[in-house]
Amino acid sequence: MARLLDAGAVLDRVRRDLDRTALRTRNGLKYLAGVGLPELGCSPKELVWQRDKVCLYRYESDHRSLYPPVLLVHSLVSKPYVLDLRPGNSFVEAIVGRGFDVYAIDWGIPDAVEAENTFETYCDEYLPRAAQAVLDTSAADELTVYGYCFGGVLSLLFVAGHPELPVRNLALMATPLDFSELGAFNRVLRDGRLDVDELVDETGNIPPQIILDGLRSLKATSDLASYATLLNNLDRSEHVAAHQALMGWAHDHIPFPGACFRQTVDWFVRADKLVEGRVPLGGRDVDLGSIGCPVLNVVGDADHIVPVDANAPIRNVLPHADDVHFPSGHVGLIVGTSAHKRSIPGILDWLEAHSDRA
Amino acid sequence: MAGSDPRWKQTFDRLDRALGPRVNEIMRSDEVASLMALAQRGRRELEQRSEQASRRALHWFNLPAGSDVNRLLTEIAHLEREVRDLRKQLADRDRDRDREPARREPAKREPTKRQPTKREPTNREPTNRDQTKGDGRGTTARRGSRAGQGQA
């Protein structure tokens, strides 16, 4: 009898292993073929404003209970759907769920026409108008501006450069100020070993591959470790889908307008305008220290793209900013289990504490 | 979890912990940065020489080269940008003129409980707005009728 039981247990185990192997093979083939890709950016939204390629979306909600509305400002080098990656793993979903009226800017994909876009284009033309569109659409008198990564830089310049606009709160997440801490790529630009003209392509923009190579150089083993983890978890379809979503986004960069890149190199890489707190925007000296509204500064202690030291000067530029650190990486601040347990609730608590019940 | 990982994964993780920080440190070093710059310069130089050679060959047969097309595309992009900027200036001027009589004072309020006010939609014709595609008509919000929607 014991032998029969043993045989049964062995058969069960063999069956389980075979099923697991079949699942691993199926998931592996799907991954390699690029089929069955998870749906991304699923939160329902509507286009409420557009200027050139720049679109402003408002996320739908049945329970907007907090005021003022929040305007999410993303970076110029990647696509904004990371803020709304997948159902159940979405920063936008969390903010909307908390009761905020949420808007997000999509800068579009630059081509030759956008090559001449400068910081003035984004901070003096698009952002003020987008902010006004938020106020008009929500019938609001104030708004909260929330910038992520390079979007935080744009937000800083925009808010400081337009004191006439009723910005109630400013939130910055993984925002670099000291570009000398951003890795070797910045060093070669800083000391002239590489010039911007050697990087722009025929459209006048910085190709996405250059940006990706620069980011890869910050942690060269990151991709390899990620694929090893994927291989180990091929039998977990949810893990594979999450990996596809995140790695897909991480490799889905967009061209960076050449004129804006030149300014970035001149102002922030070769000079330290953000560290000094004064930026020559649109022919005027914009004083970042003049920002008087409450500021939230979110930092990921394990962020290798914008390390802690790259963000540190904010304590001098905006001494009244509320510094909040989380043990997360650059994207881990808003994506993943840890984000939804720690950083996102912390961020939302601050936003709610600086908002009113509508 | 690590204990239940297969042997190859445990080995990989051990190697990653041991060598990963060193590899990353080397990749972030000045020497590698110089190599990257050199590689980029070399790549650009190769592209330019290849382009020069192919351009000479194509021009010999009175055919346009890729660089000729790129030059034209750059000119077109420049013109498109100028037209777009002019169109935006006109649209902004029209919008500012429309808003002038209806401009409201910015509300001075204490941060207290509020109800979102309901505003009647302004009754005005949509003006010719920036649009990178389609017929040049402005893009408006798809649902409802709210004031100020879709105007660039």
Strands A167-173 and A322-326: unpaired
Placement of tokens 């069956």 in the chain: A15
CB distance B73–A115 less than 8 Å?
no
A102: β partners: A70
CA distances from A192 to A189, A256, A270, B81 (A): 5, 20, 9, 30
Of B12, B16, B44, the CB nearest to A198: B44
Backbone dihedral angles phi then psi of residue A99, each to the nearest 5 degrees: 115, 5
Indicate if the pLDDT at residue B120 is higher than 50.
Answer: no
The Cα–Cα gap between A259 and A196 comes to 10
Partners of B139 on chain A (C-beta within 8 Å) are 47, 49-50
| Continuous segment of H or E residues that includes residue B31 | helix B30-60
CB distance A132–B16 less than 8 Å?
no
**Predicted structure pTM score:** 0.84
Partners of B16 on chain A (C-beta within 8 Å) are 221, 224-225, 228
Placement of tokens 């402005």 in the chain: B138
| Minimum Cα–Cα distance from B146: chain A residue | A137
Partners of A183 on chain B (C-beta within 8 Å) are 28
Better-scored residue on pLDDT, B40 or B151: B40
Omega of the bond prior to A68 within 30 degrees of 0, cis?
A: yes
Q: Enumerate residues 6+ apart whose C-beta is below 8 A from A162.
A: A123, A124, A127, A128, A131
Nearest alpha-carbon partner for A31 in A244, A247, A242:
A244
Partners of A133 on chain B (C-beta within 8 Å) are 148-149, 151
CB distance B130–A49 less than 8 Å?
no
Q: A17 is written with which tokens?
A: 């292993």
Q: B30 is written with which tokens?
A: 């000045």
Q: What is the pLDDT of residue B122?
A: 43
Q: What is the pLDDT of residue A38?
A: 80
**B106: confidence class by pLDDT, cuts 50, 70, 90:** low
Indicate if the pLDDT at residue B40 is higher than 60.
Answer: yes
ipTM surpassing 0.85: no
CB distance A183–B111 less than 8 Å?
no
Strands A167-173 and A143-148: parallel
Nearest alpha-carbon partner for A125 in B149, B85, B132:
B85
Q: A155 is written with which tokens?
A: 């937000």
Q: What is the pLDDT of residue B145?
A: 34
The Cα–Cα gap between B147 and B152 comes to 13
Placement of tokens 């004191």 in the chain: A163
Averaged pLDDT for residues B72-91: 94
The DSSP code sequence of A251-282 is: T-B--B-HHHHHHIIIIIISS-HHHHTEEEET
Q: What is the pLDDT of residue B24?
A: 85
Better-scored residue on pLDDT, B105 or A42: A42
CB distance A133–B33 less than 8 Å?
no
CB distance B118–A141 less than 8 Å?
no
Tell me the HSE value of A304 on the side-chain side, using a 13 A CA sphere.
15
The Cα–Cα gap between A174 and A177 comes to 10
Question: DSSP letter at B106?
Answer: P
Q: Measured between CA atoms, how close is A1 to chain B, in angstroms?
A: 31
The Cα–Cα gap between B80 and B72 comes to 12
Better-scored residue on pLDDT, B120 or B88: B88
Q: Measured between CA atoms, how close is A299 to chain B, in angstroms?
A: 21
Q: Measured between CA atoms, how close is B62 to chain A, in angstroms?
A: 22
By the 8 A CB rule, do A110 and A136 touch?
no
By the 8 A CB rule, do A61 and A96 touch?
yes
CB distance A232–B5 less than 8 Å?
yes
CB distance B77–A221 less than 8 Å?
no
The Cα–Cα gap between A20 and A235 comes to 6
- Amino acid in the structure at residue A325: H
Q: What is the pLDDT of residue B3?
A: 60
Query: What distance lies between CA B48 and its chain's CA centroid?
Result: 26
Give strand ranges (E) for A176-321.
278-281, 284-287, 295-300
Strands A167-173 and A295-300: parallel
CA distances from A274 to A118, A144, A154, A317 (A): 16, 21, 11, 8
Partners of B37 on chain A (C-beta within 8 Å) are 188, 193-194
CB distance A136–B146 less than 8 Å?
yes
Please return the burial class of A4, using the count of CB atoms within 10 Å of its CB with bins 0-12, 13-18 and 19+.
Answer: exposed
| Minimum Cα–Cα distance from B114: chain A residue | A358
Placement of tokens 């969390």 in the chain: A94
pLDDT in tens, chain A (358 residues): 555 568 888 999 999 999 999 999 998 888 888 887 788 888 999 999 999 999 999 999 999 999 999 999 999 999 999 999 999 999 999 999 999 999 999 999 999 999 999 999 999 999 999 999 999 999 999 999 999 999 999 999 999 999 999 999 999 999 999 999 988 888 889 988 888 999 999 999 999 998 888 888 888 888 888 889 899 989 888 888 888 888 888 889 999 999 999 999 999 999 999 999 999 999 999 999 999 999 999 999 999 999 999 999 999 999 999 999 999 999 999 999 999 999 999 999 999 999 999 8
Query: What distance lies between CA A214 and its chain's CA centroid?
Result: 17
The Cα–Cα gap between A327 and A25 comes to 35
Placement of tokens 């936008």 in the chain: A92
**B2: confidence class by pLDDT, cuts 50, 70, 90:** low
For B123-147, what is each residue's pLDDT tens digit?
A: 444 333 443 333 333 333 333 333 3
By the 8 A CB rule, do A180 and B33 touch?
no
The Cα–Cα gap between B31 and A339 comes to 36
| Minimum Cα–Cα distance from B68: chain A residue | A202
| Minimum Cα–Cα distance from A214: chain B residue | B36
Interface test with A, best of B139, B142, B145 (most A CBs within 10 A): B139
| Continuous segment of H or E residues that includes residue B66 | helix B66-99
Residue A199 φ/ψ region, left for φ over 0, alpha for ψ in the -120 to 50 degree band, beta for the rest: alpha
CB atoms under 10 Å from CB of B87, counted, come to: 17
Partners of B81 on chain A (C-beta within 8 Å) are 113, 116
The Cα–Cα gap between A314 and B131 comes to 38
| Continuous segment of H or E residues that includes residue A4 | helix A2-33
Nearest alpha-carbon partner for A73 in A119, A31, A8:
A119
Partners of B148 on chain A (C-beta within 8 Å) are 132-133, 136-137
The helix/strand count (H/E) of chain B reads as 3, 0
Q: Measured between CA atoms, how close is A129 to chain B, in angstroms?
A: 7
The per-residue b/e assignment along A96-111, b for 16 or more CB within 10 angstroms, e otherwise, is bebbbbbbbbbbeebb
